[in-house]
């Protein structure tokens, strides 16, 4: 999928919502624990109920790995289920991988060949040859960490050479490694005003914006500072949607929450003349 | 295991060798492909043949994930096998993880509770709350990326604020997050002379040093600049040992290579009066 196709899907669904599948066995409704694969059972119902509101899903690998090989199977089944149900969905493995070239090639095989997701989140610390192997797959994307939404973002991402912060250096350098059709950047919603600085460096790239909802970011602020003339945003919500309810109607509660976000996004897309 | 116990094992085995289990289905001897779990079959024979020479094994998660859920099972079996065969071995999951606190907690569960390895490699980009959850497990270790062995290390790790490079800033800040009993740093052997700079900042911490062998680093140089009065080194070799032979005697070839490295390490430990 290239950026034009992604924009097309955003227009069709009137949404730039990404739903984070951070599925935690300790938080899902108790009645699902009797299922053979409770994580997949939960995800399936969430996906059924919410996919009309979302352009992307983002399973977070940590939540699957905590269940070992069975968890990895739940992840594979989830990705396959989304593909089958709604082939227009953009699937992101939120894995924060990155290693020497020889090893990144193996991660690329794992996620782009075997699991066949559309995009993988990657950490920039090890530099170009740790990112390059993911860029050789037509239609697949790297989503590189730039400015994250957590408190620890201050520790190194604002390290400065006097001209630029580290996160800006990442945008400048890595912006040239890929194109607007195979690279996005993670920029957290908890610092929405910083998105203006990000946009000065990479006006055209898509941004994946976590931190709306449980982490406190505001969707309106994100759109104000981060939206461009091709939308250029995927805004993620995880816990706020997944755990909106904890009874037998959890999926309907999740759909309610996702629908609210979609309605706000539709409004923002209209204001910008994108739909 | 604390640093005193690790030093004890180094003295007993007269070795600070870590063997990287980067097991690639495309590189293992063809006759193993008939086994039910070829990756585990290969690892088992490598471990049987080499464990007398090694204080640590370091499976690299990428090589397991490329085989999906089955690969994750091979990884779990490998870790369990090492534990059973030789409980004195220090097991490192080379996973380069790191995410917001809530997610890092899940990775910590995956690797420290469920899989029960001794240490996990972690990327520093997201800062303190991405690392903290791994430090709450008595006897378990974070091995944080500082100066890596790949060409891309130059892209961001040498970004400088005029006083320090980023990798030095990581050592200064993260050196204070943990202790010499729960935190090590990855510092690549391909820049052995830089280990002198590393030792000025963290004289006492253990270092995990990749890049000896296939990547071109020299063991003598690493010891010259990096060894301290408690050894303070785990030196990793992966491909140079695993793929020393490709016939039915591959495990003996691997043992030969591991034995050579152990003999060199014994000599270096003697020179320093550590054994």
Prediction ipTM score: 0.97
Query: Would you call B116 an interface residue with chain A, using a CB distance cutoff of 8 Å?
Result: no
Task: Tell me the nearest-neighbour CA distance from B141 into chain A, angstroms.
Answer: 18
Answer yes or no: do B66 and A151 touch at CB < 8 A. Answer: no
Q: What residue of A is the nearest CA neighbor of B94?
A: A99
What is the per-residue pLDDT for B217?
77
DSSP state letter for B145: E
Annotated domain spans of chain A: 3-271
In B165-237, which residue ranges form alpha helices assigned H by DSSP? 166-174, 194-201, 219-226
What is the per-residue pLDDT for A211?
81
pLDDT for residue A215 is more than 90: no
Query: Would you call A126 an interface residue with chain B, using a CB distance cutoff of 8 Å?
Result: yes
What is the per-residue pLDDT for A61?
98
Q: Which chain B residues have a beta carbon less than 8 Å from that of A96?
A: 97-99, 123, 126
DSSP state letter for B127: -
Instruction: Pick from A125, A128, A132 the residue to mutate for testing the B interface (most B CBs within 10 Å).
Output: A125
Q: Which of residues 66-105 of A touch B (CB under 8 A)?
A: 66-73, 76, 94, 96-104
Which residue in A27, A96, A194, A257 is the catalytic one? A96
Record the pTM: 0.97
Distance (Å, whole) CA B46 – CA B252: 8
Mean pLDDT of B168-189: 96
pLDDT per position as a tens digit, A10-46: 999 999 999 999 999 999 999 999 999 999 999 999 9
Q: What residue of A is the nearest CA neighbor of B77?
A: A69
Distance (Å, whole) CA B223 – CA A110: 36
Distance (Å, whole) CA A178 – CA A199: 17
pLDDT greater at residue A217 or residue A224: A224
CB count, 10 Å around CB of A26?
A: 5
Task: Tell me the nearest-neighbour CA distance from B239 into chain A, angstroms.
Answer: 11
**Which residue carries 């493995």 as its tokens?**
A93
CB B165 within 8 A of CB B159: yes
Kindly indicate whether the domain formed by A3-271 is annotated with CATH number 3.20.20.70: yes
Distance (Å, whole) CA B239 – CA B254: 10
Q: E strands within A167-268?
A: 183-187, 207-209, 233-237
What is the per-residue pLDDT for B100?
96
Task: Tell me the nearest-neighbour CA distance from A271 into chain B, angstroms.
Answer: 33
What is the per-residue pLDDT for B212?
84
Residues facing residue A19 across a β-bridge: A57, A237
pLDDT per position as a tens digit, A219-259: 999 999 999 999 999 999 999 999 999 999 999 999 999 99
Instruction: Pick from A59, A146, A155, A242 the residue to mutate for testing the B interface (most B CBs within 10 Å).
Output: A155
Tokens of A192: 């929405």
- The burial of A230, by beta-carbon neighbours within 10 Å (0-12 exposed, 13-18 middle, 19 or more buried), is given as middle
pLDDT per position as a tens digit, B126-153: 999 999 999 999 999 999 999 998 999 9
Q: Which of residues 159-188 of B touch A (CB under 8 A)?
A: 159-162, 166, 169-170, 173
The lowest-confidence range among A68-72, A139-143, B58-62, B185-189 is: B185-189
Distances (CA, A) of A271 to A63, A82, A260, A264, A274: 37, 30, 17, 11, 8
Q: Which chain A residues have a beta carbon less than 8 Å from that of B187?
A: none
pLDDT per position as a tens digit, A62-111: 999 999 999 999 999 999 999 999 999 999 999 999 999 999 999 999 99
Q: Which chain A residues have a beta carbon less than 8 Å from that of B173?
A: 155-156
Q: What residue of B is the nearest CA neighbor of A72?
A: B69
What is the per-residue pLDDT for A275?
95
Distance (Å, whole) CA A18 – CA A224: 18
Answer yes or no: do B69 and A60 touch at CB < 8 A. Answer: no
Distance (Å, whole) CA B55 – CA B39: 21
CB A28 within 8 A of CB A248: no
Give Cα B195 to chain centroid, integer Å. Answer: 16
Distance (Å, whole) CA A161 – CA A164: 6
**What size, in residues, is chain B?**
275
Q: Closest by alpha carbon to B166, among B155, B178, B177?
A: B155
Distance (Å, whole) CA B224 – CA B226: 6
Answer yes or no: do A152 and B106 touch at CB < 8 A. Answer: no
Question: What backbone phi and psi angles, to 5 degrees, belong to B79?
Answer: -60, -45
Confidence of residue A214 (pLDDT cuts 50, 70, 90): low
Angle in degrees, CA B211, B215, B217, rounded to 5 = 60
Question: A with B: how many residue pairs have Cβ under 8 Å apart?
Answer: 192
What is the per-residue pLDDT for B121?
98
Confidence of residue A165 (pLDDT cuts 50, 70, 90): very high
The continuous run of DSSP H or E covering B241 comes out as: helix B239-242
In A114-246, which residue ranges form alpha helices assigned H by DSSP? 128-131, 153-156, 166-174, 194-201, 219-226, 239-242
Average pLDDT, chain B: 96
Tokens of A143: 């989503």
Task: Tell me the nearest-neighbour CA distance from A151 into chain B, angstroms.
Answer: 7
List, by residue number, the catalytic residues of B: 96
Answer yes or no: do A97 and B96 touch at CB < 8 A. Answer: yes
pLDDT for residue B213 is more than 80: no
Q: What is the DSSP string of A1-25?
A: --HHHHHHHHHHHT--EEEEE---T
Mean pLDDT of B244-272: 97
Q: Which chain B residues have a beta carbon less than 8 Å from that of A152?
A: 101, 126-131
Query: Would you call A154 an interface residue with chain B, using a CB distance cutoff of 8 Å?
Result: yes
Distance (Å, whole) CA A15 – CA B163: 46
Task: Tell me the nearest-neighbour CA distance from B210 into chain A, angstroms.
Answer: 11
CB count, 10 Å around CB of A270?
A: 11
Instruction: Pick from B125, B172, B176 the residue to mutate for testing the A interface (most A CBs within 10 Å).
Output: B125
Percent of chain A with pLDDT over 90: 94
Task: Tell me the nearest-neighbour CA distance from B199 into chain A, angstroms.
Answer: 21
């Amino acid at each position: 999928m290239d950026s034009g196709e992604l924009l097309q899907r955003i227009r069709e669904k009137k949404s730039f919502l990404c739903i984070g599948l951070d599925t935690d066995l300790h938080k899902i409704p108790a009645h699902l624990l009797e299922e053979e694969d409770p994580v997949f059972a939960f995800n399936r119902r969430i996906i059924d109920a919410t996919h009309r509101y979302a352009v992307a899903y983002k399973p977070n690998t940590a939540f699957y790995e905590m269940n070992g090989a069975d968890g990895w199977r739940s992840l594979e089944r989830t990705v396959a289920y989304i593909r089958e149900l709604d082939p227009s969905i953009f699937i992101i493995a939120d894995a924060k991988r990155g290693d020497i070239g020889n090893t990144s090639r193996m991660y690329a095989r794992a996620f782009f060949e075997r699991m066949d997701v559309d995009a993988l989140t990657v950490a920039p610390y090890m530099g170009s040859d740790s990112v390059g192997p993911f860029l050789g797959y037509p239609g697949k994307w790297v989503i590189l960490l730039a400015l994250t939404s957590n408190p620890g973002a201050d520790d190194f991402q604002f390290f400065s050479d006097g001209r630029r912060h580290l996160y800006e250096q990442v945008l400048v350098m890595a912006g040239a490694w890929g194109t607007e059709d195979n690279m996005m950047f993670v920029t957290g919603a908890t610092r929405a005003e910083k998105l203006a600085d990000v946009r000065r460096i990479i006006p055209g790239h898509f941004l994946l914006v976590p931190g709306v909802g449980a982490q406190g970011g505001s969707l309106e602020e994100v759109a104000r500072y981060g939206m461009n003339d091709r939308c250029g945003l995927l805004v993620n919500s995880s816990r706020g949607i997944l755990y909106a309810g904890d009874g037998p109607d959890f999926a309907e509660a999740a759909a309610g929450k996702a629908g609210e976000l979609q309605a706000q996004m539709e409004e923002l897309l209209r204001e910008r003349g994108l739909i």
